[in-house]
Amino acid sequence: MPDVISFARGAPAPEALDGGLIARCATAALAADPAVILSYGTGGGYPPLREWLAAHHGTTADRVLITNGSLEGYVFLLETFLSPGDLIGLEAPTYDRALLQARRHGMEILAIPMEADGMDVDALAAACAAGRVPRLVYTIPNFHNPAGTTISLEKRRALVALAEQHGFWILEDDPYGRLRFEGEALPAIYGIGGPERVMFSSSFSKTLAPGLRVGYLIAPPDLIASLTTRANQTYISPAHLPEAAVLKVCEDGLLDPNIARVTELMRVRRDAMAAGLVHMPAGTRCTPPQGGFFMWLELPGDLSADALLPVAQDAGVIYVAGSSCFTEGHHNTLRLAYSGVSPAEITVGMERLGQVFARA
């Protein structure tokens, strides 16, 4: 059996991870502030990084919570801001772990269909008009996981207007936005709707290294205070050494060059995967993304990506079955991550996948 090529993991390729950069910045940070970094810290994260993030997003540190990866901030929100039985709006498809955690926390889920230019805001408006107003709508604005899409400016504005009309909150989760291959960046929903309507989360997992486990949430101060208490009760404080290393990267102006480097690595991978689409069956639908890590495929007819996953694995390639990103159905969809493998592996993996689908 050939070595399995994984299109399943939404992680950066080894070449994207600059160990030397992290080592230098961690060493410098430790030398400068050892007593704070090596002690128990504060539940809200390493204070100087909170300050830096606040300034970066034009806000104040009492609105910033740093967590061990951004997913943890989302989970704290489910546990603190929402209650079991609350209606949460999730894009369909959405990030599989966001869906999993919402289910695990007993949320009622309002599935909002996705279109090529982001969520179907009209469908959300219709649900609200019919009395199904979510407490929170979770959206991934740029280079969506898994759909690869970016929500248009028009829809960003419409979503905010709808939130204002019906009084729901938006959580904009944007770990991929800075990894843009082409086109112009759009204004953040957080900037359009403001901090009393929109919460924002992001992460250094995709721009620096996921092993650092540094993500953050921006929300109103009273909510951040209760989430900080929750964090403190759960793990006392998040790990301050990686946060201090991240701060050093940012303060020394090294984040932007790293993002440029990672973006180029991802762009060539996107191109290799887009070229490999020729091997997919006629009628396969896919819009190659303009940034980020993922390509989303809809197979024609009754081809089931769920059923074919074990067959693909035997043929030496794996992916994420798209059905795991929906509340139900959509067995003909799949997510291919080009982020974690080399362009050469992508070429071979797409050929293998093409053969699996052709045989089916």
Ligand X SMILES: Cc1ncc(COP(=O)(O)O)c(C=O)c1O
The stretch near ligand X (CB under 6 A) out of 35-43, 184-192, 202-210, 240-248 is 202-210
Q: Single out the residue of 118, 141, 175, 289 in contact with ligand X (rule: CB under 6 A).
A: 175
The stretch near ligand X (CB under 6 A) out of 41-49, 69-77, 115-123, 276-284 is 69-77
Closest CB to ligand X among 81 and 357? 81
342 touches ligand X (CB under 6 A): no
95 touches ligand X (CB under 6 A): yes
Q: Minimum Å distance from CB 235 to ligand X? A: 14
149 touches ligand X (CB under 6 A): no
* Binding residues for ligand X, total number by CB under 6 A: 13
345 touches ligand X (CB under 6 A): no
Q: What is the residue-wise DSSP string for 184-221?
A: PPPPPHHHHH-TTTEEEEEESTTTT-GGG--EEEE--H
Closest CB to ligand X among 215 and 289? 215
Q: Minimum Å distance from CB 221 to ligand X? A: 22
Q: Minimum Å distance from CB 152 to ligand X? A: 18
Q: Does a cis peptide bond (omega within 30 degrees of 0) precede residue 146?
A: yes
210 touches ligand X (CB under 6 A): yes
Q: What is the residue-wise DSSP string for 298-358?
A: E-STT--HHHHHHHHHHHTEE-EEGGGGSSS--TTEEEEE-TTS-HHHHHHHHHHHHHHHH
Of 94, 302, 334, nearest in space to 103 by CA: 94
CA–CA distance, 56 with 157 (Å, rounded to integer): 22
What sign has the CA pseudo-torsion 59, 42, 172, 252? Answer: positive
Task: Give yes or no for a contact between 212 and 16, defined as CB atoms under 8 angstroms apart.
Answer: no
140 touches ligand X (CB under 6 A): yes
Q: Single out the residue of 101, 145, 149, 290 in contact with ligand X (rule: CB under 6 A).
A: 145
Q: Minimum Å distance from CB 91 to ligand X? A: 10
The stretch near ligand X (CB under 6 A) out of 63-71, 126-134, 157-165, 339-347 is 63-71
Tell which positions 253-292 bind ligand X, by CB under 6 A: none
Closest CB to ligand X among 17 and 348? 17
Q: Minimum Å distance from CB 70 to ligand X? A: 4
Per-residue exposure over 265-285, b if at least 16 CB sit within 10 Å of its own CB, e if not? bbbebbebbbebbebbeeebe
Per-residue exposure over 39-65, b if at least 16 CB sit within 10 Å of its own CB, e if not? eebbbbbbbbbbebbbeebebebebbb
CA–CA distance, 292 with 277 (Å, rounded to integer): 18
User: Which residues in this chain contact ligand X in the complex, by CB under 6 A?
Assistant: 10, 69-71, 95, 140, 145, 173, 175, 203, 205, 210, 215
